[in-house]
Structure 1
């Protein structure tokens, strides 16, 4: 018995024992052990494995219930508004604005009824009046599908947290991308608003969320750009402004809430990496410098006789006189112009002032430098500067007058000390007798 107890491997946090070290290491990686460690830090007693399993099942049931509630989606076709909660939708149906819109729609449909049209009553009956029962019956399939999608997305996120190998992570990410919701061009990127057209959606995002498209005059594919931004939000769950540099988010609602709360309803366009990411949707070819600059007398004639654009190989380009400078990252055109690489733009943007090499300018610069540096100044120059500094003071003239008597007193004192020192042979103040060593 003593030998068996000596070979046991124990866990003090969970108060259990194991017969092998492998079982103990497996136990240390379990959620039960982590949970008991947190309870131990909070000075609480540990829970058993059965009790922990019951708590896990209760928490999963609670999360499923919350996902079902959070998956609610309703839309008022009359007011063109979408709601993600039952309370907000019911409040809208009972609001005065909705009732006024419903009354106007009813009056408009009644005025359009004609006795000559036999099916007018049926058309009026089919017109959406925003009835609560009818809207709920229409949105029930959408609510169920969205609730299932939210629940599956949470399961995938939970599986990603517990994934052990890289293959499992890639498989779960691919599954999440396939299940992710895609926004249409009429849906807002930052809220649940659904506009009638793409132009109305862009106007809504600009007015309600202050969305600004950088360099919009050079955008070649605006619809593709908005589609790509929507996929970043829905599929990758990435903030458009943080662009992966902030905290990780797991759902579309989390990304939208983050952008609205932080004021990040904007596109990241500051770093070079952000600009290159969106370069497929821009066309800056109109800003590229050509061989012929504006203002030259033969520029117009050259444009009229311009041949179609052709692509040259490296050998053909060298034959045409185009020189590639690999070391300097420059391209020399036959006209003599040099095209630099974008990596060196910080150096090309520098504008240095041309130094004046005339002798008079150089001499004046040296004189100024010598005057500012005391090491190059003469004694007379220093004295003149000191006198000028004293004169610039509020009572400078009085100070100069008071300075003259003090100088005379010091001079008399020095003369007297020299006379006494000569008589007593004590001119060297630092001298001492070389005795008692």
Structure 2
């Protein structure tokens, strides 16, 4: 309903939270805005998903009662005349169809970054994936297995690549010389020893 608020929400989700619009909390964790953009372009996720829980995130910005292609989760809750029940803490909502939705009342009153840092009681709804864990695993990895640009410095990475190339060149030269020597023994036109005793 308010385009500026909707764009601010999208900015918070993609720009600050580093999350894909389609994958959401179920998808992969990204470390930078560039990684999110690449993922969204490669997977075709440059759209807004109205399936499942993603539809609940958009309920403040879009009226699903007028849409022909309403998501089932929203349709069950909006078109029924029965009242929607929430528990005393406001963490769960039971739709008339019997479906239980977690943290619906808090979901729309908080910003996206607040949702990521909710209380422990909400952990089963919002699994925490902290980036520090992945950074530690990447820092422990040997330099030759690190992604480009994540090593101690570029010079050490280039030295490893050069060392590996020298090793490969050495092996190929050794195998080439070995095969050339074998070929010379077989393809001699003169001075052949038919018995093999002169070698």
TM range (shorter): 0.3 to 0.5
Instruction: Please give the TM-score of this superposition, normalised by the length of structure 1.
Output: 0.16
More helix by share: 1
Instruction: Please give the TM-score of this superposition, normalised by the length of structure 2.
Output: 0.34
Query: Which has the larger Rg?
Result: 1
